[in-house]
Structure formats: structure tokens, C-alpha cells
Amino acid sequence: MSQMQHFPIFLNTRSGRIVVSGGGDAAVAKLRLLLKTEARIEVYASSADDEITGWAKSGQLRLVTRDVREGDLVGAQLVYAAHEDDLLDMRIVALAKRAGALINVVDDLENSEFITPAIVDRDPVTIAIGTEGAAPVLARKIKADLEARLPVQLGALARIGKTFRHAVEALPFGRARRDFWRDYYESKGPIAIASGEDAVEPALETLLVDHMSRTARAGHVAFVGAGPGDPELLTLKARRLLDEADVVIYDRLVSPSILELARREAHLIDVGKTGFGPSTPQEHINALIADHGTKGRQVVRLKGGDCTVFGRLDEEIDALDAAGVSWQIVPGITAASASVAALGQSLTKRGRNASVRLITGHDMQGFADHDWADLARDGQVAAIYMGKKAARFIQGRLLMHGASHDTPVSLVENASLPSQSIIGTTLANLPKDLAKADLDGPVLTFLGLAPRAAASQTSQMTQELA
Ligand code: SAH
């Protein structure tokens, strides 16, 4: 979870009063922004810049040609101390606090209760960019990027759209209306406004008629692989589906930064299962998914890694088939792929292994059984999922079947995440090294693979994370 020191809100300034104390460059810069609001603006300055005097003359603000006094700030919504002088500014801070007004000291994060973000103005669409004061340069860059990307007519489209909101209530609440607006902003609106603002309203009318004649989309479940944790390893399709979902049903391994990508209004349901800990019974999950599908929702069933790997996918599909709900599978990057990438190795290699196995350390009955004799042969590579608790068991079986004590084994914890860690060991030392490392994240165990040049691997990782 991120920890925002500053929480962004949009303040209604319509009947508010905003006071700027100071008459120099800093005051002018803030006033340029503040004059875009509907607030009553007051400037206190014993001497004021020409630009400010000009604004006062044309009635855009009230200029008081003296310093702020006790009582002046009572009832002010916001106060800006813009003297660019610590002593003068701190006097205003004290006065503002006594008057109960929020105070900003220009270019002084420490003494400010609020900060003014960089703004991209497509009124009524306003985008505020803040970096907690950490990187004003970055904020300006993002602002410039957005300025270039957002058509100037976006504001006009939003304004005209707003007059149409009432008519759109003819469509059922939720998805149908969202689809309508998506169509408007992404396709029909921009096309219409290209031939002038007058063309937009008729286009909206045609679009509404079109959408009214559509039948409601049936419920649908997408089984989506969320990948190993790094949000950048999501597929584009996963992103889009998350963006459209009504309901997201997710497992414990799905990282919070991926859930952040779900639509804000989406209903997020945690059916997390810890390896051996408390869990939502599988039958309950099956019923839950089928239920949302039957009710016509667009459901994303989000599973860590790839949903077809140790994900109990088939049981969920059976439940949907029984309920007559349509579904699709969207593959994701499985932990074995992310982990082998972390090791700097490849899964298969000419002359070493022409096959690779994905095996599980435990199943419903307990520790899982495998063809140990085959796995014990030299050069075998297996990615062992859920292998932490079973490490000693696996070691025992393999040694019993003649595996060499120095067979390389690698452990990758939290593959693809900033907390990723890699341990290279051998079959003989596996239980000991695993216990010593005390890993509490998900761990993938690689039998038959060593980290490639451990040192250079670490340095490369640090570079990437830097
Ligand atoms: N469907 C998932 C696997 C689910 S089983 C996939 O395709 O990856 C859960 C096991 O996956 C964990 O016990 C662990 O062995 C492995 N795992 C999942 N995410 C991992 C990660 N980021 N790093 C290492 N192992 C991971």
C-alpha cells in the first residue's frame, strides 16, 4: 500500500474566498492558477506587481495595499503566503492557523498544509499531478506529455456530454451506460467534433438510439492469469479485462498493485487461500463465480501466475458449464517462467534438458508423489510449485532413487517483485538452506538449475530496480 502524505481532492471554490499574501513573482504565478477558479480572490501587498494591479483594475481580484492583519483571514478557504521571505511567510502561517484557514507557503513543503498540483486544464476535465514535492521536474514532464496527448476538444466533449446525462438514464444503470460513454469519448465524440461542436449533439442522439436497441450483455467469466506479481508482466488483455470488470474474484497471490488496475467501481472479492492456512472452500468459490456470471456480470477470475497451472481451474470451469455461463481463459506468466528469468537461465537447453516438468510439492492428499526415479536422473529440470513444506520429503525421495547429492537446486522467492530473492543450493543442502533463509513469500524451487553467475545476476537486478 502506498502512503500518501497528500491526498488529492477537488475543492469547491464557488463561494469561497482565497487570500494571497505578497505581491511579487511567486504571488503572480499562483494567481494565474487561482484566477481560473470561481473563488473571490484577495491579495494583500503593500507593493504589488503591475500584473496584479491590472487584475485588480479589471475586477478579477481585490487588492488590499497593506500587510495582512489579525482578522483578515477569518473565513478564508485557502491562504497562500507568497512573500518569498521566511519571516514574513511564517507570520502569515501563524495568522492563518489562528483563523482556521488552510495555508500554503510557496515553495515550502514543510510549512504548508496543502500543496497546489501541476494542472492540465480541459475544463470541465481537470488533471492534477502531484509528486509530494519530490520531483517537480517529473510533474512538469507528465503535464507536458498529457497536454500533448489530450485533445483540446476533450473539455468541449465533456461539457456537451454533461447536458446529455439525463437522456442517457434511459439506458439501464451500470454497464450499458458505461458502454455508451466509452463509445462517445473514444470514438463517436471525437469524430463528430472534428466537424464542429454543432455536430456533437446529433451524434449523441444517434448513438443513444443505437445503444437502446442493444440487448444487455450476458454474464461472462474471464479466467485471467495475473502473472508472478510485477504489474508490467500482465498481458494487455488482462489489463483491458480488469478495466472492464464488474466483479474481480482474486487469490492471495495477486499483488495489490495489480488489483489497483481494476475499475474503481468494481466489486473486489478476496477468496485468498494460504498454503495450509484458512481458505475459502473451493465449492464456495465455484458457486460464487457461477452466481455472478448468472446475474449478468462481467467477471474476472484473477489467479496468480498462469491460471492453468496448479490453479484448480477445471473445477471452476465445470461449475460455469453447469450454470450455462460463458467463459474464456487468458494466459499469464507462470512462476516458473518468472523464476527462471530471475536465475538468468533458460528452461530448456540443448544438450542439457529437452524437457521440463512443472510439479507440485503437495496436493490434496499431502506431499505429492512423482516419478522419482526419472526425476533423479542427471540433467533433469523440474519447477517445483508449493515445494517449501515438502522440501525434505522431495530431497529424501530423490536421494533414495539415486540422485546425486550435488544436484543444483535454486530457490526463487517473490519472483519478479522488488522483494525477489534467489538462493542457490544443492540437493544435499536444500532443507538446511531453506530453513536458514526463512522465506515467507511464495517460493519456486528449481531442481537441476543453478543461478547463472550469482554475483552478476544480483548486480543486474539492482540496476533494473534502481
Ligand atoms: N498459477 C500459479 C501457481 C499457483 S500455485 C502460477 O502459474 O504461477 C502457488 C505456487 O506458485 C507457490 O507456492 C509458489 O511455488 C509459486 N509462485 C507463485 N508466484 C510466485 C512468485 N512470484 N515467486 C515464486 N514462486 C511463486
Q: What is the mean pLDDT of each run of 10 residues along the chain (466 residues)?
A: 85 94 95 94 96 96 96 95 95 96 93 92 89 84 86 88 91 86 89 89 93 84 96 94 93 90 90 64 93 94 96 95 96 98 95 94 90 95 96 96 96 96 97 95 96 55 42
- Strands 220-225 and 298-303: what pairing? parallel
pLDDT reported for residue 273 = 55
Cα 92 to averaged position of ligand 1 atoms, centre (Å): 56
Cα 406 to averaged position of ligand 1 atoms, centre (Å): 25
Cis peptide before 124 (omega within 30 of 0): yes
| Residue of 443, 446, 447, 461 best suited for mutating to test ligand 1, as the one with most atoms within 8 Å of CB | 443
Our answer on whether the CB atom of 310 is closer than 6 Å to any ligand 1 atom is yes
Our answer on whether the CB atom of 255 is closer than 6 Å to any ligand 1 atom is no
Q: Find all residues with CB under 8 Å of 223, minimum gap 6, and list them.
A: 301, 303, 307, 313, 316, 317, 327, 328, 329, 330
Task: Give the number of residues written for the chain.
Answer: 466
Number of H helices, E strands in the chain: 18, 19
Residue tagged active-site, from 89, 230, 251, 306: 251
Q: What are the residues facing 78 on neighbouring strands?
A: 18, 102
* C-alpha cell recorded at residue 167: 437522456
Report the candidate in 457, 408, 398, 453 with the shortest Cα–Cα distance to residue 429. Answer: 408
Interatomic CA distance for residues 65 and 170, integer angstroms? 56
Our answer on whether the CB atom of 380 is closer than 6 Å to any ligand 1 atom is no
Tell me the three state secondary structure of residue 254.
coil
CA 99 and chain centroid, separation = 39
Tell me the three state secondary structure of residue 196.
coil
First vs last C-alpha separation in the chain: 20
The residue contributing the CA closest to ligand 1 atom 11 is: 385
pLDDT reported for residue 277 = 54
Cα 231 to averaged position of ligand 1 atoms, centre (Å): 15
Report the candidate in 321, 266, 330, 267 with the shortest Cα–Cα distance to residue 294. Answer: 321
Q: H or E element: which one contains 136? A: helix 136-149
Are 136 and 117 in contact by the 8 Å Cβ rule? The answer is no
Report the candidate in 254, 459, 426, 227 with the shortest Cα–Cα distance to residue 344. Answer: 459
**Angle at Cα 261 formed by Cα 284 and Cα 329, nearest 5°?**
50
Interatomic CA distance for residues 429 and 222, integer angstroms? 42
420 CA closest ligand 1 atom index: 23
Interatomic CA distance for residues 114 and 128, integer angstroms? 13
Report the candidate in 115, 97, 119 with the shortest Cα–Cα distance to residue 106. Answer: 115
Our answer on whether the CB atom of 337 is closer than 6 Å to any ligand 1 atom is no
Interatomic CA distance for residues 303 and 433, integer angstroms? 29
| Residue of 303, 385, 386, 389 best suited for mutating to test ligand 1, as the one with most atoms within 8 Å of CB | 385
Helix pair 200-212, 175-183: axis angle to 10 deg = 140
Active site residue 251: yes
